[in-house]
A = this chain, B = another copy of it.
Amino acid sequence: MIATACSNAAIRRATRQMGQLYDAALRDSGLRATQYTILATIERYGSLGLGALAADLVMDRSALSHSLGPLIAQNLLRTMADPADGRGRRVTLSAKGTRTLEKARELWAVAEQKFGATLGLAAAAELRRQLDHIASLDFAQEFAKR
C-alpha cells in the first residue's frame, strides 16, 4: 500500500494515523488532540488575540474561530474584548480549562513519549525540524517563488 508519489497525500496519511493515536491517548481527558493543542498554546501565551493564535497554529482564522466554539461552550475558554483594540478579542483559559489541560497534559506526555520511542528519538527530532520548517511562513514564500 501507499503508492501515490504525492508528498501531501503522504503527510495526510501520517497525520490521520497520529490523530488516531493521540486522540485515543487523550480520550479520558475529554479533549481531542487538536483541542489540547489549542489550550496548550493559549496557556503558553496567557492571553492573546485570535489572529495571533491562528498564526501560531498555522490555521485559518475562521477555522480557528469555529474550533473555539465547542471549547467556549464547555467553559474551557474565556474571551473578552481587547481593551487596546476595539476590533479584537482575546482568549484565555478559564479555571476549568486550566484543570482540564493539566489532566490532559499527563496523557499527552505518555503519547509523546511513545511516539519518540517508536520512531526513534533522533528521527523524531529530525522530523520535527522538517515539519516546523514546512509550517514556517518562510517555506510558503519560498514555495510561492518557484
**Residues in A lying within 8 Å of B, measured CB to CB:** 1-22, 33-34, 36-37, 40-41, 44, 55-60, 108, 111-119, 123-124, 126-128, 130-136, 139-140, 142-143, 146
CA separation between A4 and B11, bound complex, in Å? 19
Q: A37 with B6: in contact, given A15-B15, A57-B13, A134-B14 (CB under 8 Å)? A: yes
Oligomer copy total: 2
Give the 7 A-B CB pairs with smallest separation, nearest first: A13-B135, A13-B58, A14-B131, A14-B134, A9-B37, A8-B22, A10-B131
Contact A146 B117, beta carbon cutoff 8 Å: yes
Contact B142 A7, beta carbon cutoff 8 Å: no
Contact A114 B127, beta carbon cutoff 8 Å: no
Least CB distance from A60 to B in Å reads 8
Contact B146 A6, beta carbon cutoff 8 Å: no
